């Protein structure tokens, strides 16, 4: 026995009045509902270059007025700690992001970029010239169980940053944020003039 038209209409009406499906004003963004896709690392961006298949993946999850936050996206070579995570420090990466962001926008979605530095959650092999990962401390991270691996992740002993080195990392974040905007792109929670002031 199927549902009657009235029952279906009632159910639809009920669903539409569920708080999670009601609009939400987030700063200057008018979200049409409150289901947000959180950042989820995928490790499918070969050599840190976002791939065309990501356009399919993200657009499948996009909705008109819905917010998606990208998988964590590394700001520099030294910011890496996991294989094949996307980056946003080079021109090639910015160009690779463009069709992905366009695909989300084509569905009316709102797309933010999560910019990321892993700090000491890294190993020599991910670091330029096999250097020590940088951190606020020289204390090594204990091995951690990973959701996507049988073996716990192991980390190399980090090097504690000197105070005068911190602005370089801040600059890398600044460039990554600018690149994200150039990629289209990811809209920012700040008003444009404010963001420009900030950067």
Ligand X SMILES: Cc1cc2nc3c(=O)[nH]c(=O)nc-3n(C[C@H](O)[C@H](O)[C@H](O)COP(=O)(O)O)c2cc1C
Residues numbered 140-179 forming contacts with ligand X, rule: CB under 6 A: 147
Q: Minimal distance in Å, beta carbon 12 to ligand X?
A: 28
**Least distance from C-beta 173 to ligand X, angstroms?**
15
**d(C-alpha 95, C-alpha 12), whole Å:** 41
Between 8 and 56, whose beta carbon lies closer to ligand X?
56
Instruction: Give CA angle at 132 (126, 128), nearest 5°.
Output: 45
When the beta carbons of 150 and 164 are compared against ligand X, the nearer one is 150
| Surface-to-core class of residue 162, CB atoms within 10 Å of its CB (0-12 exposed, 13-18 middle, 19+ buried) | exposed
Question: C-beta of 77: minimal distance to ligand X in Å?
Answer: 18
Which one of residues 31, 32, 34, 39 is an interface residue with ligand X (CB under 6 A)?
Answer: 39
- Chosen residue from 72, 110, 176, 180 binding ligand X by CB under 6 A: 72
Q: What's the rounded Cα separation, in Å, for the pair 127 and 158?
A: 11
CA atoms of 22 and 38, how far apart (whole Å) = 18
C-alpha span between 89 and 116 (Å, rounded):
11
Among residue numbers 115 through 134, which ones bind ligand X (CB under 6 A)?
A: none
The footprint of ligand X (CB under 6 A) covers: 38-41, 71-72, 114, 147
């Amino acid at each position: 026995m199927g549902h009657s038209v009235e029952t279906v209409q009632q159910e639809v009406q009920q669903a539409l009045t569920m708080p999670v499906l009601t609009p939400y004003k987030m700063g200057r963004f008018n979200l049409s509902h409150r289901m947000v896709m959180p950042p989820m690392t995928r490790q499918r961006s070969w050599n840190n270059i976002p791939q065309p298949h990501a356009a399919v993946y993200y657009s499948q999850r996009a909705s008109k007025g819905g917010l998606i936050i990208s998988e964590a996206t590394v700001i520099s070579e030294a910011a890496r700690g996991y294989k094949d995570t996307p980056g946003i420090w080079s021109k090639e990466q910015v160009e690779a992001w463009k069709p992905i962001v366009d695909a989300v926008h084509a569905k009316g979605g709102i797309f933010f970029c999560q910019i990321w530095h892993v700090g000491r959650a890294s190993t020599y092999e991910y670091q330029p010239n096999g250097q020590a990962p940088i951190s606020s401390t020289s204390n090594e991270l204990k091995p951690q169980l990973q959701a996507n691996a049988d073996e716990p992740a192991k980390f190399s002993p980090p090097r504690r940053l000197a105070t005068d080195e911190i602005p370089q990392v801040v600059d890398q974040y600044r460039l990554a944020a600018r690149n994200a905007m150039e990629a289209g792109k990811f809209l920012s929670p700040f008003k444009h003039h404010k963001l420009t002031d900030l950067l």
